[in-house]
Amino acid sequence: MKKNLITLFLIAFGFLSNAQKTNVLATAKIFSVKDMYGLKDKNGKIIVAAIYGDMQLKSNYALAIKGTNISNITTTLFDSTGKAVAQYSNISVMDCGVAKITKSKSIDEGVDGLIDLTGKILVPLGKYDNIKDCSEGLIQVEKNKKYGLIDLTGKVIVEPFYTLIRNPSDGMILVVDGILYGYLNMKGEVAINPQYPKAYDFSNGTAKVCYDINCTDSYTIDKTGKKVSR
């Protein structure tokens, strides 16, 4: 019995030690040496050497930038333990908690991908031409000037098909197919077929749609496409 209690104590102690390690960045500080930046823990121990031209620190990740021009600039992602887990031309953490990665070909051209904050690849570089906005757990992607949606794991919700796709609003997603506006639901399914020359986002259960591109005459629909008012 005593041996079992000791074993359980050691396991618990090891678990707590590992948990503490994962919180290194929560109390870390940026420091500088000759205009180069690094990270120290709360005790002043160096976590990341001061070899970077810029450093961004959050409670669960850090981004460090090295290089001076498009040909040699790199961004390194550090996880919550202070370990470097990814390095690309550019890494940009989105509001939804995943990171857009870019491999630059030139100052005006690059390819995008997506990783999580452990560095795991969710969308490989080059699968899409551009990874755009993130809203309500969905991310806009572009391929061959057509737009679709993926979720936060990189799973395809809507293949790049639409001429335009907007962020969700009131549980509906406004899309344009060619020149006609319609709506998807949050699963990426067509809720109202594209049929309007002009339309607007849903709000409080209704949306304004138009008879013509200039919207000189319009009416209001519900989420089934039923006309509810002029």
Give residue-wise pLDDT tens across range 108-154.
Answer: 455 789 999 999 999 999 899 999 989 999 999 999 999 999 999 99
pLDDT at 42 over 60: yes
pLDDT at 43 over 80: yes
pLDDT tier at 1 (50, 70, 90 boundaries)?
low
Q: What is the pLDDT of residues 60-85, one digit of tens each?
A: 999 999 987 767 889 999 999 999 99
Mean pLDDT for the chain? 89
Greatest mean pLDDT among 1-5, 10-14, 95-99: 95-99
Query: Which pLDDT does position 229 carry in this prediction?
Result: 82
pLDDT at 174 over 70: yes
The angle at the Cα of 130, spanning 129 to 133, to the nearest 5 degrees, equals: 160
**Mean pLDDT, residues 44-66:** 95
Query: Which pLDDT does position 9 carry in this prediction?
Result: 44
CATH number of 163-230: 2.40.10
Query: How would you label 193-207 residue by residue, b for 16+ Cβ within 10 Å and e otherwise?
Result: ebebebbbebeeebb
Which of 19-23, 46-50, 109-113, 206-210 has the least mean pLDDT? 19-23
Domain ranges of the chain: 163-230
pLDDT at 23 over 90: no
Three-state helix/strand/coil letters over 145-156: CEEEEEECCCCE
Structure token digits, residue 228: 């509810």
| Percent of residues, the chain, with pLDDT higher than 70 | 86
Structure token digits, residue 205: 């259960």
**Mean pLDDT, residues 146-171:** 96
